[in-house]
Amino acid sequence: MMRCAILALAILGAAPALAADGPPKSAAFEACAAKAHGVTFSLLHCYAREMQAADDAMAAAYDGASKAASDPRTRDYLTRSQTAWGSYRDAWCEASVPRSGSLARFKLFECRLAETARRTAALKAAAE
């Protein structure tokens, strides 16, 4: 019982620090995290929703970049790079995040969010 209490306090104390590690979070994430009260499952749900929003934003940026590319070969390379990038992001984050510990899943989400934010910015720049 004491171990559970210590783990809960560690996660609760680390949640704000984790949120500060990666890109800025949405107001929806902040509200969700506040309601989670440090409960791991609830916080992971908040991260999953934030990840979906980040993926949606990246998909919109990809569509914009694809429409802005006038050369069919450029669109083909863009499509190929997007497919490869998804594999890269997942492999990079799995390789760079510790595999154990109570914060491992949170750190994995942080890595994926950060990498997705970088890719979204690159795609937006390509559309300009």
Give the pLDDT confidence of 29-64 residue by residue, as tens digits: 999 999 999 899 999 999 999 999 999 999 999 999
Query: What mean pLDDT is predicted for residues 59-77?
Result: 95
The rounded mean pLDDT for the chain is 86
Share of the chain above pLDDT 70, in %: 83
pLDDT of residue 21: 62
| DSSP string of the chain, one letter each residue | -HHHHHHHHHHHHHHHHHHHHSSPPPHHHHHHHHHHTT-HHHHHHHHHHHHHHHHHHHHHHHHHHHHH--SHHHHHHHHHHHHHHHHHHHHHHHHHS-SSSTTHHHHHHHHHHHHHHHHHHHHHHHH-
